[in-house]
Every structure is written in C-alpha cells, then in structure tokens.
C-alpha cells in the first residue's frame, strides 16, 4: 500500500507543480482545513495522515475513520509548507472522497438489514490497484471484506466449474488438493447442486443469481434434509438496496453486493487555506 500511495503522489506531481512553484515562495507556510460538503461515513483518515507525513505536513487535528459526518464538518487541520500541501491536496482528497463513498454505501446496506442475523459483504469488484483501500472502506462502513485477494480462500466460480465439469466434481477436486486450513466456497445455480455441495462438505455455498423464491426453496430443502447447518449460505448477484431485505428475511448467512465498491459515489470534500498564510 505504501508503494501505491507513493505512486499516486508521483503520478499527480509529474515533473513538478509548475503552477504553485511559479507563484508561491518556497518558505511560505500555511494552515489548511479539509471539510465535508455532505453527510456520510468518513474513511481513509490513516492513509491521508501517511500521505501528509510523507511530505512532512503536520496534522493538527483529524476525525477518526468511521466517524459520521455532516455538511460543513471539519475533518482535518494541517500545517506545513504551502507548496507541499498543494502538491498532495488532490491525492489526499481523491482517496478520502473515494473511500468515504464506499464506507457510506456499505453502511447504508448494513443499516437496511440490521434487524436480521446476516453478514453484508463486499466482493472483488474493486478498482484495480485500489482493492485494499476499497476493502478497508468496506470494513469501516461495517460490511465484511470477503476475500482480500485470491489466496485468502478457495472460491469456486462458474468458469472453474466449466473447466472441470460439474459443481460437485469441482468441489471434491478442491477438497483433495487444498489444505484443511483454507475454507472452500462454491458458487451454484440450481437446487440440486446446492444440496450436493452442502452434503459433501462445502464450507460456504453461494446461491448465484437466484430469486428470493428460489433461495427459499433451497433453504427449505436443506432444513428438511437436516443439513442446513452444514454450510454457510451466501446469496449474490444483482442484489441492491431495493431487494436486500427480501433476501435477509429468508435466513441466509451472507449477502454479498458488488455494487458497494464498483458503483459507489465518492463523497465531496474540499481543502482550503486559512486567510492568514
């Protein structure tokens, strides 16, 4: 993550901030404040502090990750060379606004199903190179991160199954070749495959793109066979704020929502110098 942050700064800096260098003295110091233009959940504070530290900019005050913020709230006070603050201004704001947007979206989903015993999780549908920041924001917003990367757990998806043959065959092959220390999850699209995978020891069975009625049927059959507690049941695919409660009330264990990361809107923050530089 340090390398990514360093690249972000260098990417924006290019060969130097020619505007600031042309009009601001090298020894000119400034106090600046970052404020919010809307309400939400603040995320990315620790990363922003690291960026300021990288340029020897003193953070005088900041709110914490997870803080509920409103329009006009002060998020940061910083002090340092005006040239340095201007150099990292956009990098800090872009990251703070993006992560806060993800955290705010995650929190809104979590709040919708807070009365149900269900986990809201993100997915790997994240911005390239920003995945770990997106995952941090998910966690700050109260959602589960799901996998950080491909080596976290086995997650057998449709293309794995197509390459092998059938869901159960793919599951058994994974169980033969993966350490007991790794959980195995498999994505299924039919009642029959769901039952087979639960019977044969999948840690998590993901019901992919199933309607609430189809999910209810799967859960009812698992209960009838007395194997409902053998596996965690996850639902995924096209779930949004309008439909998430329909799935939560069925009694599933996990609801994963790709839209929290791939479609969340950044919040709007601004950085401004004080009147007296």
Q: In the prediction, which pLDDT does 277 show?
A: 58
Please report the domains of the chain, with CATH numbers, ordered by start residue. 2-108+265-273 (3.90.1170.20), 110-262 (3.20.20.70)
Four-residue CA torsion sign, 239, 243, 245, 250: negative
Cα separation, 151 vs 218, whole angstroms: 29
pLDDT at 11 over 90: no
What digits encode the pLDDT tens for the residues 158-200? 999 999 999 999 999 999 999 999 999 999 999 999 999 999 9
Q: In the prediction, which pLDDT does 127 show?
A: 82
What digits encode the pLDDT tens for the residues 34-50? 999 999 999 999 999 99
How many DSSP H helices and E strands does the chain contain?
A: 11, 12
Q: Is 57 exposed, middle or buried (0-12, 13-18, 19+ CB in 10 A)?
A: buried
Q: In the prediction, which pLDDT does 276 show?
A: 61
Cβ–Cβ under 8 Å, residues 48 and 90: no
Our CA dihedral for 5, 8, 11, 16, rounded to 10 degrees, sits at -70
Q: What is the mean pLDDT of the chain?
A: 95
Q: In the prediction, which pLDDT does 106 show?
A: 98
DSSP 63: P
Alpha-carbon 35 to chain mean position: 23
What digits encode the pLDDT tens for the residues 208-233? 999 999 999 999 999 999 999 999 99
Query: Bigger pLDDT: 277 or 155?
Result: 155
Q: How many CB atoms lie within 10 A of CB 225?
A: 12
User: What confidence tier does 275 reach under pLDDT thresholds 50, 70, 90?
Assistant: confident
């Amino acid at each position: 993550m340090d390398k990514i942050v360093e690249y972000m700064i260098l990417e924006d800096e290019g060969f130097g901030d020619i505007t600031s260098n042309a009009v601001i003295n090298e020894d000119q110091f400034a106090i600046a404040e970052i404020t919010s233009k809307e309400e939400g959940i603040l995320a990315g504070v620790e990363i922003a502090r690291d960026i300021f530290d990288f340029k020897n900019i003193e953070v005088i005050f900041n709110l914490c990750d997870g803080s509920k913020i409103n329009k006009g709230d002060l998020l940061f006070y910083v002090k340092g060379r005006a040239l340095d603050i201007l150099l990292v201004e956009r990098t800090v704001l872009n990251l703070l606004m993006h992560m806060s947007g993800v955290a705010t979206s995650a929190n809104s989903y979590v709040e919708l199903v807070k009365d149900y015993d269900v986990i809201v999780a993100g997915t790997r549908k994240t911005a390239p190179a920003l995945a770990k920041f997106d995952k941090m924001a998910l966690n700050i917003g109260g959602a589960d991160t799901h996998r950080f990367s491909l080596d976290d757990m086995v997650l057998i998806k449709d293309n794995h199954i197509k390459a092998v043959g059938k869901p159960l065959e793919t599951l058994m092959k994974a169980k033969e070749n993966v350490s007991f220390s790794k959980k195995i999850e498999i994505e299924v699209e039919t009642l029959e495959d769901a039952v087979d995978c639960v019977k044969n020891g999948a840690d998590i069975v993901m019901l992919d793109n199933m309607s609430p009625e189809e999910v209810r049927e799967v859960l009812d059959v698992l209960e009838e066979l007395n194997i409902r507690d053998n596996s965690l049941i996850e639902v995924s695919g096209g779930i949004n704020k309008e439909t998430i409660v329909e799935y939560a009330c069925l009694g599933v264990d996990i609801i994963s929502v790709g839209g929290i990361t791939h479609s969340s809107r950044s919040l709007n923050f601004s950085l401004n110098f004080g009147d007296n530089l």
